[in-house]
Amino acid sequence: MLTIKNLHASIEGTPILKGINLEIKAGEIHAIMGPNGSGKSTLASVLAGREEYEVTEGEVNFKGKDLLDLAPEDRAREGVFLAFQYPVEIPGVSTTNFLRTAVNQVREYRGQDPLDAVKFLSVMKEKMKLVEIDQKLLSRSLNEGFSGGEKKRNEIFQMAMLEPTLSILDETDSGLDIDALKIVSNGVNKLKTSETATIVVTHYQRLLDYIVPDFVHVLYNGRIVKSGTKDLALELEEKGYDWIKEEADAASV
């Protein structure tokens, strides 16, 4: 589904990603872990098309298309979804209106008929249950005054509405208490099918107790320095990141 080859990216001239290689197949869950500043969120942002980052080398192929060639909205319409680490508050735009616009633009791109107000509402009600989100919240301005947990639930709710094939969860667990974490993870798991794939970017192993990855990759200094199964995450939890850094630093000398 997704093939990343030798991906280099920089921001304002500073290289952050220095040669990422990754292959993700339908049905798989990949966790990207790593110490702060290793480039995890940059990778998520580059895949979603954030303009501040400049891709200097490498390629990304998504379902046979050159992903890097697409505008952010077209990536979303092709089925890439980024759950933001810091969802943006947008006063004056109601979540419901915004989502209806988004869903219908995505549907139009995919050659589907737009959902009318009634149909949209019934789909919304169904998906709301997945993340236990309250309708009152959705009639308010997008994310405005939402708690951290509400914002993250809203991200997963949007994911449910947009039905992506590749979901990238950027530190979705940060700032969540255990209950909220369970709700969010539960939503992600329910949405998972054999046709879709998930990238979970996280600093902590905790989230991976609930969203169990098939593969774990450790990002350090802009490269994937170690890959393994979910056991690698447990090892990191126990031993921290220092041994990975030492190994990687030794190898690069």
Partner 1 sequence: MATAIITDILETLLKSSNTTSFPAIREKAKTLALEKGLPEIKEEEYKFTAIQRKLEKSITDFSTAKNISLTTAHIQDALPEGYEGDFLVFNNGRVDLELSKLSKQGYEATLLSSSASDLFGTIAKNEKDVFTAINTSGFEDGIHIQVKKNQKVEKPIHLLFFNQTNEGQVIPTRVLIEIEENAEASFLENSISLDETPYFFNQVVEVKAAQNSKSHYAKLQNESRQAVSVSNFETNIYRDAVFSHTVISLNGDMVRNNLSLNLLDSGVEGNMYGLYLLNGKTHVDNHTNVDHTKPNSDSNELYKGILADSSRGVFNGKIFVRQDAQKTNAFQQNNNILLSEDATINTKPQLEIWADDVKCSHGCTTGQLDEEALFYLQARGIAKDQAKGLLLFAFAGEILEHISDEPFKNHITNLVKERLGSNI
Q: Which residues bind partner 1 (CB under 8 A)?
A: 48-51, 71-73, 75-77, 81-82, 84, 87-88, 90-93, 97-99, 101-103, 105-106, 109, 141, 158, 162
CA atoms of 34 and 16, how far apart (whole Å): 13
Taking the least distance from each CB to partner 1, the nearer of 133 and 248 is: 133
CB of 72 to partner 1, least distance (A): 4
Taking the least distance from each CB to partner 1, the nearer of 95 and 205 is: 95
Measured in whole angstroms, how far is the alpha carbon of residue 192 from the centre of its chain?
Answer: 13
CB of 128 to partner 1, least distance (A): 17
CB of 76 to partner 1, least distance (A): 4
Taking the least distance from each CB to partner 1, the nearer of 60 and 106 is: 106
CA atoms of 177 and 100, how far apart (whole Å): 30
Taking the least distance from each CB to partner 1, the nearer of 1 and 99 is: 99
Spatial contact of 91 and 141, defined as CB atoms under 8 Å apart: yes
Surface-to-core class of residue 240, CB atoms within 10 Å of its CB (0-12 exposed, 13-18 middle, 19+ buried): exposed
Taking the least distance from each CB to partner 1, the nearer of 61 and 141 is: 141
Task: Give the CA count within 13 Å in the CB-facing half-sphere of 207.
Answer: 28
Contacts of 191 (CB under 8 A, 6+ apart): 130, 156, 159, 160, 167
Spatial contact of 41 and 170, defined as CB atoms under 8 Å apart: yes
Taking the least distance from each CB to partner 1, the nearer of 21 and 104 is: 104
CB of 231 to partner 1, least distance (A): 33
CB of 249 to partner 1, least distance (A): 34
Spatial contact of 99 and 154, defined as CB atoms under 8 Å apart: no
CB of 102 to partner 1, least distance (A): 4
